Amino acid sequence: MTPEATRYTTTVLPASGLATWFSDGWITTRRNLIKIKRVPDILVFTTLQPIMFVLLFSYVYGGSIEIPGSSYKEFIMAGIFAQTVVFGSTYSGSAMAQDLKEGIIDRFRTLPMSPSAVLVGRTNGDLLINLISMIVMIITGLIVGWRVRSSPLEALFAVVLLLAFAYAFSWVMAYIGMSVRSPEVINNVSFLVLFPLTFISNAFVQSDTLPTPLRVFAEYNPVSSLVQAARELFGNAPPAGADASWMQQNPIVTILIGIVVLLVIFVPLSVRKFSQISSR
């Protein structure tokens, strides 16, 4: 290759590399969307689970739990939203573990593609699944009597905030999925981590009704901040009082900071982990 050709290749590489990255990311995203189409069980259970939770908590517990100044149906919906999207982010981990087990990653290694494209496609696929779940839950909630008491713009921001947190958390699960040896392990890890985070929070009961150790954990639990932010944006709860933790008094800021921190830490870690796996 002549020096002129070398200089030309070096000059156009960044632009073409960026275009290739977007193209690779879209191709892997499309692969995951096609997989959902070919395996409709994923979509069926994704939509049935939120419906089940909305109906279960609205009608089974709705008449037995008192919420001062509000109804339990309006109180519980933000908690169900948060629980569903957080659990929905675990698909990234289980799918990455499954791809490793089936040798799909070895096939990707032979292709001239960006290492991060596979992860981008995987997390984008989870984002779509969570969006579908959110739409189903909102419709179901409206049917059972839940109402948005704020402006449409605030309600839209609540949905975006929930999906953005789930997207950031899906990178955490993708990293864990590449670090375990089988899809079964990631399922157990998800259960052990996410159940305490979602149930020891203000998602289903008011945190001040919990015993002191659990109440302290709930007030500093990021899921509690996510739920509180969604409740305030939907107009289903007033801002937290002065006796609450800083995270509860500033839930939107807390979640925005949390989203940035998770992405800054786990996107590079996940890409590096994927590169290490691909080079074996």
Judge whether residue 84 has pLDDT over 60: yes
Residue 76 structural domain: 3-278
pLDDT > 70: percent of the chain: 80
Q: Quick one: pLDDT at residue 80?
A: 92
Q: pLDDT averaged over the chain?
A: 82
Judge whether residue 104 has pLDDT over 70: no
- As a whole number, mean pLDDT of residues 225-239 equals 94
Backbone φ and ψ of 244, nearest 5°: -80, 165
**pLDDT category of residue 52 using cuts at 50, 70 and 90:** confident
Q: Quick one: pLDDT at residue 21?
A: 61
Judge whether residue 203 has pLDDT over 50: yes
Q: Quick one: pLDDT at residue 167?
A: 94
Q: Quick one: pLDDT at residue 14?
A: 42
- As a whole number, mean pLDDT of residues 44-72 equals 79
pLDDT tens-digit readout, 158-177? 999 999 999 999 999 989 88
Closest CA to 230 of 173, 181, 157: 157
Judge whether residue 7 has pLDDT over 60: no
Number of domains in the chain: 1
- As a whole number, mean pLDDT of residues 19-38 equals 69
Residue pair 124/32 in contact (Cβ under 8 Å)? The answer is yes
Judge whether residue 58 has pLDDT over 90: no
**pLDDT category of residue 90 using cuts at 50, 70 and 90:** confident
Torsion sign (Cα): 131, 134, 138, 144: positive
Between residues 54 and 42, which one has the greater pLDDT? Answer: 54
Judge whether residue 218 has pLDDT over 90: yes
Burial 56-87 (b: 16+ CB within 10 A, else e): ebbeeebeeeebeeebbbbbbbbbbbbbbbbb
Q: Quick one: pLDDT at residue 228?
A: 96
**pLDDT category of residue 55 using cuts at 50, 70 and 90:** confident
Q: Quick one: pLDDT at residue 16?
A: 46
Q: Quick one: pLDDT at residue 8?
A: 33
- As a whole number, mean pLDDT of residues 35-59 equals 77
Closest CA to 145 of 72, 44, 206: 72
